[in-house]
Amino acid sequence: MTTLSPRRILLVDADAFFVAVARQEDPDGAGKAALLIVGGRPGSRGVVCSASYECRAYGVRSAMPISRALKLCPRATCVPVPRGACSARSKEIQQVLVTFAPVVQASSIDEWYCDMGGTEAMYGQESLEATAHRIRDAVFASTGLSVSIGGGTSRLVAKMAVELAKPKPGSRATGVRCVTPGHEIAFLAPFRLADLPMVGPRFSATLERMGLESIADAQRWSVTDLQSRLGERAGAWLHQRVRGIDDSVVTPREVQKQVSREETFGRDLHDDDILERELLRLAVRVSTDLRRQGLRARTVTVKLKDADFTTRSAQRTLAEPIESEKSVIKAARVLYRALRGKRRVGVRLLGIGLSHFDDDATASGSAVATQLGFFASTPTPAASDEPVENATDRALTRALDRIRDRYGSTAIIPARLIEGARESERDTGPRVEE
């Protein structure tokens, strides 16, 4: 009888990723600031995307308003998120990882799961920890960025281990922490139950009322006892997780669910003309993101956050998928006007999301080009205000992409954005793109 070898899963987590990239992009400014906050300029109404470890010592945390972060750490330097550079560095790190692991899955822009199963002979039967150090060194040599790596027999164990691998100031961590097969229960025992992925505040409160705060507490309960208190499904789930049992697999590609762009304005906006210009600006950016990923979308969502922090949204699913900025703005404008008609107050945040994708090989330029006619047929729209696209529309849109890629994103933009460019910052105040 053949015995299956324990799984070998790594989680690679880029250390303070946004901070590190911001320092690379601006070595004489952000690069020299020990106290660094990435997320927006001082005076903006954005939130902290990331902060240096030195800032975190003052209590600065991700998703905290920039204004509050600066009250906690007034000497900190604040910079916007270098989005383009972050995307490029993320791809560079993944390119290194695929040379080591047969299966790599991007969990986020700065996290990747690697299934190292079957690679033992490739690395001379060395330990998983030794291979992780090898990967860490290769990433730094290629990108100049540091990563921390957690490893174990499951994605869950790797996720918990990476938190102890991070070389934070004052810690003795080396950047790698791998859990030996058979030691999962002992490794997890000291953690709080609230530290487990998928254990949210409500579930954590329920467990606390049962007298369960640490994972060690829950490990002493039988599956029957947990099911009697939490229900059959939740009880069985928790019984497995506190023992490090997680059968989820590492897949080469996460299914993309949405492409979106949002902006938080420096002051509340009331003027519809200004707001619709900003909506157009977002449509250009989000449709470009869509095409770069080789996708077309059937659902368009517009999101507003009002001055009183009320968040409202409206969405529409189209009969045919779209990819051009012209189509996105046509659909988004209808949704925006419907939202504004229901509640006319100041707008703090505006966003557009695209979802329900149809993969399209031609969007990435890999398909054979087709001859376009002057009288290309256009599908009959389901409604008069619904955008439709034909082959000519898509070819023209991709031609614009090629020009922008070569000469810059502002080489060709809608005329309305050119007219408002000089007044934009005065109209909206300092904007924070999200």
Map residue 65 onto helix, strand or coil: strand
pLDDT over 90 percentage in the chain: 57
The Cα–Cα gap between 130 and 120 comes to 11
pLDDT digits (tens, 9 = 90+) for 392-407: 878 888 888 888 777 7
Confidence of residue 431 (pLDDT cuts 50, 70, 90): low
Q: What is the DSSP letter of 32?
A: G
Q: What is the DSSP letter of 264?
A: E
Count CB atoms within 10 A of the CB of residue 337. 15
Q: Rounded to the nearest 10 degrees, how much is the dihedral formed by the CA atoms of 22, 24, 28, 30?
A: 20
Residue 10 buriedness (CB in 10 A; 0-12 / 13-18 / 19+): buried
Residue 332: predicted pLDDT: 94
Confidence of residue 377 (pLDDT cuts 50, 70, 90): very low
Domains of the chain: 17-83 (3.40.1170.60), 186-241 (1.10.150.20), 258-433 (3.30.1490.100)
Q: CA torsion sign, 32 to 35 to 37 to 43?
A: negative
Residue 191: predicted pLDDT: 96
Round to the nearest angstrom and report the end-to-end CA distance of the chain: 54
pLDDT at 57 over 70: yes
The pTM (predicted TM-score) of the whole model is 0.68
Confidence of residue 26 (pLDDT cuts 50, 70, 90): very high
The Cα–Cα gap between 88 and 109 comes to 10
Tokens representing residue 300 in the block = 């368009």
**Average pLDDT estimate for 352-360:** 79
pLDDT at 247 over 70: yes
Which residues form the catalytic set?
Answer: 111
